[in-house]
Amino acid sequence: MIVCHCNTISDHEIRAAVDWMRAADPDTLITPGKVYRALGKRPDCGGCLPLFLDTMRGCDSLGVPMQLRGLRRAATQGNGHEGRQESHRISQ
Q: In the chain, how long is the greatest CA-to-CA distance?
A: 49
> Nearer to ligand FES by C-beta: 12 or 81?
12
Interaction between residue 54 and ligand FES (CB under 6 A): no
Q: Please name the amino acid found at residue 25.
A: D
Cα 41 to chain centroid, rounded: 17
Closest to 51 in 3D by CA, of 14, 21, 20, 22: 14
**Which residue among 4, 17, 30, 59 contacts ligand FES (CB under 6 A)?**
4
Number of residues this chain uses to bind ligand FES (CB under 6 A): 10
List interacting residues with ligand FES (CB under 6 A).
4-7, 43-48
